[in-house]
Amino acid sequence: MPGSVQNAAPATVMPLSLSRAFVHSREYPAIENEYQNGESQRSVQATNSRKRWRLAKRLPPGTLAALRDFYDARKGATDPFYLYDPYETNPRFSHGPTGQAPTGRYTVRFEGEWNQSVGLSRADVSIELTEL
């Protein structure tokens, strides 16, 4: 059918050592109208939240190199992959390296460009993952 878009088909899983460096947040899309008298009207745009993960740790050089290699192999935000949220797997903090276990697995992609600053023996990378 013309104009239809294929679903994301991830071919790989983010390694457990990298996925533990991300923290989970949720975003509920809403429509907001603000009026001149200061009142506002809001309505929910979707019933499900959109999940995001952001890097929350300063990375040592070896982990930073592994994350950069993984990012480059996915061509930045182009290729989707599986992420296991360690708090939602069963048992907790387990990992399915093949992507077959559905519990706690999300199809995600990188959000934004690679942006890094390096300090004394650690690096800060501001990067997010977005659920597809």
Tens digit of each residue's pLDDT (9 = 90 or more) over 75-106: 988 999 999 988 888 888 888 888 888 888 99
Name which of 33-42, 97-106, 112-121 the model is least confident about: 112-121
Tens digit of each residue's pLDDT (9 = 90 or more) over 39-71: 988 888 777 778 999 988 888 888 889 999 999
Tens digit of each residue's pLDDT (9 = 90 or more) over 14-24: 998 888 889 88
Whole-structure pTM value: 0.79
Residue 74's pLDDT is 92
Torsion angle, alpha carbons of 91, 97, 98, 99, to 10: 50
87-110 as b/e, with b when 16 or more CB fall inside 10 Å?
A: eebeeeeebbeebebeebbbebbb
Residue 96's pLDDT is 82
Residue 128's pLDDT is 92
